[in-house]
Structure formats: structure tokens, C-alpha cells
Amino acid sequence: MAHTVNGCPLALTFIIVWLLVKAKIDVCKRGDVTVQPSHVISLGSAVNISCSLKTKQGCVQFSSFNKLILYKFDRRIYFQHGHSLSSQVTGLPLGTTLFVCKLACSSNDEIRICGAEISVGVVPEQPQNLSCIQKGERGTVRCTWDRGQDTHLYTAYTLQLKGPKNLTWQKQCNDHYCDHLDLGINLTPESPESSYTAKVTAINSLGSASSFPSSFTLLDIVRPLPPWDIRIKFVNASVSRCTLQWRDEGLVLLNRLRYRPINSRSWNMVNATNAKGRHDLLDLKPFTEYEFQISSKLHLYKGSWSDWSESLRTQTPEEEPTGTLDVWYMRQHIDYNRQQISLFWKNLSLSEAKGKILHYQVTLQEVAGGKATLQNITEHTSWTWVIPRTGNWAVSVSAANSKGSSLPTHVNITDLCGAGLLAPQQVSANSEGVDNLMVTWTPPGKAAAAVQEYVVEWRELHPGASTQPPLGWLWSPPYNLSALISENIKPYICYEIRVHALSGDQGGCNSIRGNSKHKAPLSGPHINAISEEKGSILISWNEIPAREQMGCILHYRIYWKEQDSNSQPQLCEIPYRVSPNPHPIDSLRPRVTYILWMTALTAAGESPQGNEREFCLQGKANWSTFVAPSICMGVIMVGVLSVRCFRQKVFVLLLALRPQWCSKEIPDPANSTWAKNYPIVEEKTQLALDRLLTDCPTPEEPETLVINKVLHQVTPAFRRSHHPNWPEKGQGVQGHYTSEEDTGYSASSPPPPRALTAETGQGVDLYKVLGSKGPDSTPGNPASPSTVLPVDYLPAYEGYLPSNIDYLPSHEPSITDPREELPQHISLSIFPSSSLHPLTSSCGEKLTLDQVKMGCGSLML
């Protein structure tokens, strides 16, 4: 049994070998392919390839039908009829090329005869840069070299090392890319000065090449292992002195260490000769994380440095802060007795903090008392408190870590914007890229020399936010009139920017809004309430969310139109206000349903419309709304005139029409009551309608006045008194055009030639005055009370020409002060039309109209 088991493997091996031989024979059973001079040739050499058929392996019918074909890979390169074929091939590329010989007995079938591979390569180049190294005292020798270009052939590299006492070590590698070998031997330090020689030889079918010998000693090739077990010790928990310790190999004589802060890219390098595993460092920064690495070497001149050790990372101890805080503050009045102060400060730099800031100490004291009124501790970089408005107050702030506190920063609480003369002028903010704003300003006029420094502060406008956004600021010397803001500036965000000029304990400021990038708002304002008040409506709205404003909003627009109307909507443009109040609209008709909506505008465009609201004015509208234009917060609209102005106009009109309802008879002017009572009436009334006609206040309800006397004489001055807020000649109120014809004159300037006045004491024929129409008078738009009516505009109808023009006033300027002519009691009553009577002869006969004066009879109002 034992022999049978043992014989089976032998029989199996024999069968396998026979099959392999048979298979090899069967591959080329029809013929052979031979290659001359060799299957391996050098680049550029020619080769002869022959193919021949074995006996009885040709075509069956006739031997002349034998067609031998030579293929290079899959491409036919040569053919020949007969039992053999021979061809010379040149220009073969580097590498291996396959040639196959086939037999064709018919046009369709080809039979494989045999094939051959031809390898093309080059002679090995001489290996270069042979070097050897032994890692650590117990490592093995490993050599490397540059093998040169690829031979494209099988090449063997043999490394040989010869040492003292004729000792030789040798090792071979057969890889095409072989460029290093490890001899697996350790050179001991028993004779560190002993010499060794290494050489590498490359051999292939075309030739061989050997490197130059490389000689070295143990100290030349041994590279120490990196130091290990690195640790650091701070003496007395102080950064002023620390000791770095490590372990290394026994033959090490030199060490070098490098260290750096974690956030730094550059290293600090230190040589530690004869360090014996330790070194003191004296220049480390407190509360800073450092990285340490160490390398070793056996000899000062020989050998190489070890690899760097693994990094040791540690944080140095803290020290007492040395810097001072940059503090800024804001002040806000709460009521008559209290004010709120808000302090802000910036974090100390790492070099100033010298540790982790645990808290900030804020001390509040009254300057007069000198004693601390309040001491508070906070972990935030801001602090708010309420103090009395009386007295002088000062605040000091300091930062504290585990080792101590910084020097306090003292701030005297004053009004930073209280000195108007110190306010910087022409403040502007322009975009400088996406994340920067350039703020510029000019000095505060005559007080420029007193400015000691400027402060530029900015805050993100965040309407509706429950918490205020952080405040940023920077200081600027007095000679610098610009500042680049780059801290926490984001695109599409509106910032409130304020420039302060400081001089001692005084300051002046000026502010502006700006953004680094803007576009049209994404949504419109939301109208949340509409209320009715005194014939007008009040509109309230919610601010657009900050993330949808897309920059600084410049204006709001309120649109309205009648419901189911195709007409263009009316609009009112309102300047932006941070805290908007309800805005009035008083040009709506009562009992008409309107649709209202709002939009917002930035410098880039207008937002989509907000929500729509319907409203119907139920009460009585201001019926003078549709008489004359009005101003809607700086925008000219068809709107409201003052009620008081309107009543004054009606009053003048009624006075002018008064002769038409005097009586049925025209009185004798010589014997009339008017002529007898004229001096008394003149002394008692002295009515100055020039002020009544021109001094129209802002829209409001007038006070009730009572008329106790009959007005017999009216002295209208068709000019307006000078007002300091009025524009000069030739200028109009915003939105109105003023020509020379309707420009008023002051009491000190003479009226134009041939102008009708009533300042000389004589009565003016009001028929002729009312009959005159200025060039701007149109139906529904009476002449302005401030219009000067020249005589050229008097009517020239037949029967109404004046018979005596001596009553016309002279052109001398009046010196009468209009303020002395104001009556004490004036009222206006609307009377029924039945009280109007035509003129009759009861006032006298043969009375021409140019002699009629105001005061024909009594007019009870």
C-alpha cells in the first residue's frame, strides 16, 4: 500500500510532462519557424525569418498549391508558394514582436504552421548615484541607485558589498525596475572607521554594465532613528522658562529641534549640541499652542540627520494681560431724568490677552464723587446700564484671565453728537468691492483745527429685530478724512454709518446709510392698518424683512386707485425712515372704495408691490382737497389746500361782490352815511388784507373769530409781506412755477408802475379790480392774492370808463406796517342768495360807477 501511494505521484508527474511535451510538439506539428541571428536583437538590427513545412504536411492534392503566408501580429507582410518561405525584417520597435507562419490551400482557409517572438532592446546603462544607508544602530544595509533608461529586456542587477577581512556580501534582483536592494546585514559599531565598498552590475542578453565603486564607513551610512518620548516642562507654571526633553540612540552626538505656533507656517530652528536629551526654551509666547519636533545625528561632519520625530503639541501657560481694551459707547435719553448708556469693546489680541479672558470688569462712577457707584462683571463684549441725566459720569473697563487683569480703559460719558460745530461735513459711503465700504468726509468747517481724532462707527440696519446687531468702529487721526470699512461687511445689507469728530470731552457727528452691493428689494411693504381721521386716512405698514431689502431703501411709494377703475393709480413717494409712523393721505373722495398698496425703492430699482388693501372713506373729506395742489412729503400732488386759506379767499370774494346787494337805490356819495362815518371807521378798522391774503399757514382748523363792526373800507394790498422762509424773486415753492407777474413785493420795495394799490388812504374801485383778470386767472382758479394787477388789465367797457383818475394812488412805497392794520375780530358767515339785491337809486342819482366806494349801507354778517 505504501509503495502504491508513493508511486502515484511519480506516475502523475510523468503523464503531465508527457502531455506538455506533446502539446509543444503539436503546436508546430506542420512545420517550423526559425530566426537568425537571434530571437533577441538590439534596436535597429535586421532579422531573417524562415518558415518550412514538414513532410506530408502540405496541401493534399498538389504541392504547388502550398501558399505560405508570414504575419506580423495580425498584419500580412509576406507570402510565397512552395514548401518554405524566407524573409528579412527590419525596423522593429523596442519590445517584443510576434511573427506567425500560415498555410493556405484555398482562398478561404488558412492553417497555422508555427510562430516566433523577437525581442528588441538595448544594452543596460551604467548604474549611477549608488548610495547605502543603515537606519539606526540595529538596522540593515540598504543600497539604492539610478538604473538609467529601460532596456526593454530581461535584466539582472547584482549588488556586491566588500568589507574588511575580505568579507563579501552579494544579492541580485531580476525586476525590470530594480533600483534598490537590502543586503540584510547589520554593520556593528565595533570599528566605526572601517571602510566598505559597494558596487552594482546590470546584465541582459545584449551586454552588461557596472557602477562606480562607492566606499564609506559606518558613520557615513548609519542614519539614527528619530528621537522619541518627547515631553515639555514649564518651570513654576511660567512660559518664561520651559524645558524640552526626549530620548535618542546612544551614538547620537547632535540634535536639532524646531517649533512653531500651530497657526504659523514658518519654523523656529535651534541646534542642541551635547544636549543629552534636553533643551531650555526662553522665547515662547503665553497661552499659545506650539508644535515641537526633534532630529538627531551621529557625527558633526559625517552621516545624515535622522527623520523628524513625531510632533508634540502643547499649549503654554497664561500670563497677566498687558493690553488695554478698545472701548466705544452710545448714549440714549429715556426720559427727563434718566439716560441709557451702552458700552462696546473689542477683544484683546492673543499677544495682549496672554490667556483666556474669563470676564470683563466694568466700573461706573460719578466724576464729582470719585467713588465707584457700581461694579459689574460680564462675559460679553458689551454692557448697558441706566444712569441719571444729571452729573458727570465715567466708566472703566478691564479684561481678566486666570493670572490677573489688564489696565482699565477709562471713558467719560458725554454727548458724542452734542457739539454741532464739530460735526463732519459731506459724509459719503461708496462700495469698494463686495465686502468693503469706503467712507469719506470733510472737516467740520471752522472747528477743524480743534479735532483730535475721528471715529467711524457702523451698524447693520435690522428693522424689527429684538436684539441690536453688533456695532463696529475704528479710529482715524485728524489728518485722515477717509476710512475703509471691511469688518463684517456683507453684500445686500444696509448699514448705518456715523462719523464722529472728537475734541476733548466734546464731539460732533454726522451719519449716512450705505451698502457694499444692492439690488431691487425682493418684496414690498405690508400694509397692516388703515384708519380714518378728520377726512384723511392714515396708513401704517410693516418693514420689509432685512434679508429681502437687498440694500438701503431710499423711498417708499404708496399707490391708490378707485376700485374697478382702469385709470392710472396715483402715488405718493415718502423718504425712508427707520421707524415709520402712520402716513396721511387726504386726496380720497368719501364713500368711494379705493385699493391701496406700497412698494420700496433702492438705488437699483423698485420692489414688487406689497399686499393690497381696500378702504372706503366714510366721513367728510376735506372738500378743498380738489381745489389746488398740495405737497405729499416733498412730492407735488393734486391735494389739499389750507381750510383757513380757502375761507380767506371766500371772504375777499364776498367783500368784492358786496355792492351788488347794497340796496335798490344808489346813494348820494356826498350825503351818504359812508362819507360821514369814513374817518371813524378808518381809525377803528384798519384792516390789512395783504396779510390775510398771503400768510396762509399749514393746513389746520382756524380759530373762531367774531365780527362786531361793519366793514366800510377795505385796504387790500395786492402784494405779500416778506417772509424769511419764502423764496426770492423768481423762485417758486417746490413744485410751483412763479412768474414775474405773480411775484409779490415786500413793504420796502415799490410796486411796479401803474399797479393798483389801496395803501394811500383812498378807496379803490373794486369793481374795476374784480373786473381785471391776470394772465394766469382761469375759471376755477382765481388770481392769487399775491398778484399785482396792472392798470392795463382794467376793463374798458362803454359806460365804465373812469371820469376822474385823480383818485388813483401814487407810486410811492407805502410805509404803513401791515401788522398794525389787523382787526381784532373777523368772522365769515355764508348768507342766502336772497339777500343779494340789484343796485337801485336809493344811494343817490347821477352817480358814476368809478365813484362808488365800499360801504354803501350796512352789511350784516
**Tens of pLDDT along 727-737?**
333 333 333 33
Mean pLDDT estimate for the chain: 74
The b/e string for 83-95 (b: 16+ C-beta within 10 A; e otherwise) is bebebebeebeee
- How far apart, in whole angstroms, are the C-alpha atoms of residue 450 and residue 440? 19
pLDDT of residue 648: 54
- How far apart, in whole angstroms, are the C-alpha atoms of residue 149 and residue 682? 130
CATH 3.10.20.30 is right for the domain spanning 526-617: no
Judged against a pLDDT cut of 70, whether residue 748 lies above it is answered with no
Judged against a pLDDT cut of 60, whether residue 674 lies above it is answered with no
| Domain 27-121 and domain 224-315 have a common topology | yes
Q: What angle do CA 24, 28, 32 make, to 5 degrees?
A: 125
Cβ atoms of 342 and 265 within 8 Å: the answer is no
- How far apart, in whole angstroms, are the C-alpha atoms of residue 557 and residue 574? 6
Higher pLDDT, 465 or 303: 303
Higher pLDDT, 721 or 333: 333
pLDDT of residue 434: 77
Q: What letter would DSSP give residue 777?
A: -
Which are the contacts of 353, defined by CB distance < 8 A and separation ≥ 6?
A: 287, 321, 323, 347, 399, 401
Q: What percent of the chain has pLDDT over 70?
A: 66
Q: Where are the domains of the chain?
A: 27-121, 128-222, 224-315, 327-514, 526-617
pLDDT of residue 11: 65
| pLDDT confidence tier of residue 578, bands split at 50, 70 and 90 | low
| pLDDT confidence tier of residue 451, bands split at 50, 70 and 90 | very high
| pLDDT confidence tier of residue 649, bands split at 50, 70 and 90 | low
Which of 460, 447, 607 has the alpha carbon at shortest distance from 521?
Answer: 607
224-315: what fold?
Answer: Immunoglobulin-like (2.60.40)
Q: On the CB side of 514, how many CA atoms lie within 13 Å of its CA?
A: 24
Mean pLDDT of 811-821: 39
| pLDDT confidence tier of residue 96, bands split at 50, 70 and 90 | very high
Higher pLDDT, 533 or 7: 533
pLDDT of residue 25: 52
Question: Cell 462675559 appears where?
Answer: 379
Q: What is the CATH number of domain 327-514?
A: 2.60.40.10
pLDDT of residue 145: 95
- How far apart, in whole angstroms, are the C-alpha atoms of residue 72 and residue 33? 13
27-121: what fold?
Answer: Immunoglobulin-like (2.60.40)
Characterize the bridge pairing of strands 536-542 and 67-72.
unpaired
pLDDT of residue 395: 93
- How far apart, in whole angstroms, are the C-alpha atoms of residue 541 and residue 539? 7
Judged against a pLDDT cut of 90, whether residue 130 lies above it is answered with yes
pLDDT of residue 270: 92
pLDDT of residue 334: 85
Q: What letter would DSSP give residue 479?
A: T
Q: Which CATH architecture has domain 128-222?
A: Sandwich (2.60)
Judged against a pLDDT cut of 70, whether residue 585 lies above it is answered with yes
Q: Is 120 exposed, middle or buried (0-12, 13-18, 19+ CB in 10 A)?
A: buried
| pLDDT confidence tier of residue 558, bands split at 50, 70 and 90 | very high
> How many Å separate Cα 692 from the centre of its chain?
56
Judged against a pLDDT cut of 60, whether residue 642 lies above it is answered with no
Which are the contacts of 161, defined by CB distance < 8 A and separation ≥ 6?
A: 132, 141, 143, 168, 169, 170, 183, 185, 196, 197, 198
167-225: pLDDT as tens digits:
899 999 987 678 999 999 988 877 777 889 999 999 999 999 999 999 999 889 999 99
pLDDT of residue 141: 93
pLDDT of residue 466: 61
- How far apart, in whole angstroms, are the C-alpha atoms of residue 328 and residue 343? 6
Q: Is 221 exposed, middle or buried (0-12, 13-18, 19+ CB in 10 A)?
A: buried
Mean pLDDT of 393-411: 93
| pLDDT confidence tier of residue 258, bands split at 50, 70 and 90 | very high
- 430 forms beta bridges with 438
Lowest mean pLDDT among 475-484, 501-510, 851-860: 851-860
Which of 53, 17, 51 has the alpha carbon at shortest distance from 34?
Answer: 51
339-360: pLDDT as tens digits:
899 999 999 998 899 999 999 9
Higher pLDDT, 468 or 838: 468
pLDDT of residue 818: 37
Q: Which residue stretches of 511-553 are H helix?
A: 546-549
Judged against a pLDDT cut of 60, whether residue 672 lies above it is answered with no
Mean pLDDT of 37-66: 84
**Amino acid identity for residue 695 in this structure:** D
- How far apart, in whole angstroms, are the C-alpha atoms of residue 132 and residue 126? 17
